[in-house]
Amino acid sequence: MNKKIFFPLIAIMTFALVGIIFVQGFWIKTTLDNKERQFSLNINQALKSVSEQIQSREMRDYLAVYQKLIDSIGSPKESQLSAVFKFVDRNENTNQTYIYSHGILEEDYNVSSKLFDQESLDTSSIIEYKGIKTTTIIDEAFDREMQNMSSIERLQRVERLSLMDKAKYASVFMELASLKPIHRRLTNIELELLLQRELMDRDIDIPFQYRVFNGTFATKVGSDNYTNLEGLRKYKSPLFVNENGNSEFELVIAFPERKVFLRSSLTTLILLSLLFTLAIIITFASTIFQILKQKKVSEIKSDFINNMTHEFKTPIATIKLAIDAIENVNVKNDLKKRSQYLMMIKDENERMNHQVENVLRISQLEKKENIIKKIDCNTHDIIKESFVHLKLLLNSRNALIVDELVASHFNIMGSHEDLVNVVVNILENSIKYSNDIPNIKVSTYNESGHIFIKISDNGMGMSKDVKEKIFDKFYRETKGNVHNVKGHGLGLSYVKKIIDLHFGTINVDSVQGEGSTFVIKLPLNI
């Protein structure tokens, strides 16, 4: 891929991915904020409803008792008494309540104003108004009536009062109720049941703690664990609001599991969002990795083609020169020189054929088209045969090779030809990658039912990064003088593949500038 396209494409994909993550984060935060606002609205509505129900219930209690008193004394038939309570006093010693009232008695005589003035247009009757002051003494039976009557009975009694009567006496009863302590006006059971019902109607089913406060002081009405809720968000609503809109008491409620409740409804969506985002990130990273890997493979293959072209070009050129020489008149009659040139052509041809076979062999092994055939093999014979294959190369470099084949058990199940090629490839690398005269040592030993083949040299060695890649297909070190060595990067990849097919392992220990040591481990045929 062209670098001019590759890097801008990566930048655009990265920007898009970051944008998606940002948008999802913003969406989750906005949704949580909306949930928080909706939750607060529901709680405030529930508290307001509870406050109104408590105040309404208290008023019904007083109106129910008042209606019973009215029923006991009856109502005037021709007059209407409009009474307004002015003062309420309770004697703690006698348990009696004194209600001082000032009323107005309206009496209609059915006398029209025209009786006194014939020309008057006023047709209304003359009504006489009389001021009436009364003192009503109510004993403790008033309180007992309020406590003993059921809710249905209270409602039935209250319904008998007119709206005018309810409004007329509401402020008086509110003043009367305000003289009582809060725990006599409201119980924990009533308050908790009302809160539970209102919250359940709004689909809020989580634990809560509450307390009624008189200013800054906590009253007796409230849950026991409220004192342990420092730092939580609290919702408030006034209780027992008077006709002026003021209140001495305030209901405060808190939810220890509020955050968990708000997030629970979004948990599935958040998890799915995170899952999909993670999938996108993994896919994106894998795509980048595969692109880089393919780019690297493409470069390695290009290098491989260049190396193979160079490897083929040399023998082809040699063969052409040899053929031209044979066609020369002077050489045609010289049988010795003709024989030398023919041998040269044969060697170069075998060299090219060997390289082609290596490439095809690797391809077949990768595709598993040609599984190796195993027989009983002598490891020491394999090593010695590899020395014969490398005799010319060893002599050309004046290489010194020492063998210490001391393993007492050396028979294995394997492919004789492939294992010879394994040892040849390693020894060939030891010779090629030596700056000085190659000094190679080959030894064998047994351990735990295996035979170990150890090949050490005094070559240029390898860095840590190179050691991790030398068994990769097509890999060749391209730094320093290493790239000047002929080859196509398939030798050690082939070695690793053959060793794996024999259920063995191969490891390398190398110090740059000091040499390398290959250790092959193969299972014995016992």
Alpha carbons 87 and 90: distance in angstroms, whole number: 10
Whether residue 321 is found in the same domain as residue 198: no
Domain of residue 277 covers: 267-362
Residue percentage of the chain with pLDDT more than 70: 70
The residue from 303, 334, 362 where one domain ends is 362
Q: In 265-374, where does DSSP find H-type helix?
A: 267-327, 329-332, 335-367
Asked if residues 453 and 444 have their Cβ atoms less than 8 Å apart, the reply is yes
Whether residue 66 is found in the same domain as residue 211: yes
Residue 193 has what pLDDT? 92
Whether residue 272 is found in the same domain as residue 409: no
Q: Which residue has the higher pLDDT, 474 or 406?
A: 406
Alpha carbons 114 and 124: distance in angstroms, whole number: 9
Count how many Cα atoms sit within 13 Å of the Cα of residue 264 in the half-sphere of its side chain. 8
For the whole prediction, is pTM greater than 0.85? Answer: no
The residue from 209, 240, 265 where one domain ends is 265
The residue from 303, 337, 362 where one domain ends is 362
Indicate whether 412 belongs to any domain: yes
The three-state secondary structure class of 343 is helix
Indicate whether 297 belongs to any domain: yes
The CATH number of whichever domain residue 392 belongs to comes to 3.30.565.10
Task: Spell out a b/e string for 315-349, using b for 16 or more CB atoms within 10 Å of the CB, else e.
Answer: beebbeebeebbeeeebeeeeeebeebeebbeebe
Whether residue 6 is found in the same domain as residue 128: yes
Q: Which of 70, 240, 222, 53 is nearest to 151 (CA)?
A: 53
When pLDDT is cut at 50, 70 and 90, the band that residue 443 belongs to is: very high
Asked if residues 476 and 493 have their Cβ atoms less than 8 Å apart, the reply is no
Give the highest mean pLDDT range of 252-261, 266-275, 368-377.
252-261
Indicate whether 135 belongs to any domain: yes
pLDDT tens-digit readout, 462-506: 888 777 778 776 555 544 444 444 444 456 877 888 888 889 999
Domain tally, the chain: 3
Residue 352 has what pLDDT? 78
Indicate whether 369 belongs to any domain: no
Whether residue 418 is found in the same domain as residue 358: no
The CATH number of whichever domain residue 280 belongs to comes to 1.10.287.130
Among the listed ranges 16-25, 300-309, 409-418, which one has the minimum average pLDDT value? 300-309
pLDDT tens-digit readout, 272-291: 888 888 888 888 888 888 88
Whether residue 292 is found in the same domain as residue 185: no
Indicate whether 368 belongs to any domain: no
Asked if residues 212 and 221 have their Cβ atoms less than 8 Å apart, the reply is yes
Helix 163-178 to helix 3-73 angle (10° resolution) is 100
Alpha carbons 317 and 323: distance in angstroms, whole number: 10
Residue 414 pairs in a beta bridge with 375
Whether residue 438 is found in the same domain as residue 291: no
